[in-house]
Amino acid sequence: MASDLDATDRRILGVLQKDGRITNADLSERVNLSPSACHRRVQLLEEAGYIDGYVALLNTRRMGKPTTVFVEITLQSQAEDLLDAFEREVAKVPDILECHLMAGTADYLIKIMAEDTEDFARIHRQHLSRLPGVRQMQSSFALRTVVKTTALAV
């Protein structure tokens, strides 16, 4: 639990969230620990599951996928087998970055990055329209991103 973290663990996590490639020497300096103590703490945080992994965050514009689309999906029913089938199939769609089971009017909220509206139309035609049990879909295109971070408040 987050309550088990002390101030030093929180500082380590805060720095690593913003720079996952920082060297242990630089990290230990930033959080005022010896390199060996810092390394030991990072290992313990990894083992305890506070750190899921390390990734490179790609620039969506440079990768040719600047268009953010949010798709609200409502299923025909809430039957467990239909939810399972939908989730199995949606996980296979390479263009989907996130899929969340929701409370509210829609059952699922999906985030997709596309090249443009034509590319989204392709994704819709080839993948989204074939998902099992879909009763309704509503797509919204983001005009611009106001806040975007992967860093949790620690």
For position 114, what pLDDT does the model report?
98
Q: Is the pLDDT confidence value at 118 over 90?
A: yes
Task: Calculate mean pLDDT across residues 72-85.
Answer: 96
Q: Cβ of 10: how many Cβ atoms within 10 Å?
A: 15
Judged by DSSP in three states, 100 sits in strand
For position 80, what pLDDT does the model report?
96
Q: Name the phi and psi angles at 50, rounded to 5.
A: -75, -25
Q: Is the pLDDT confidence value at 1 over 80?
A: no
pTM to 2 decimal places: 0.89
Q: For the chain, give the mean pLDDT.
A: 96
For the chain, the first-to-last Cα distance in angstroms comes to 12
Q: Is the pLDDT confidence value at 117 over 90?
A: yes
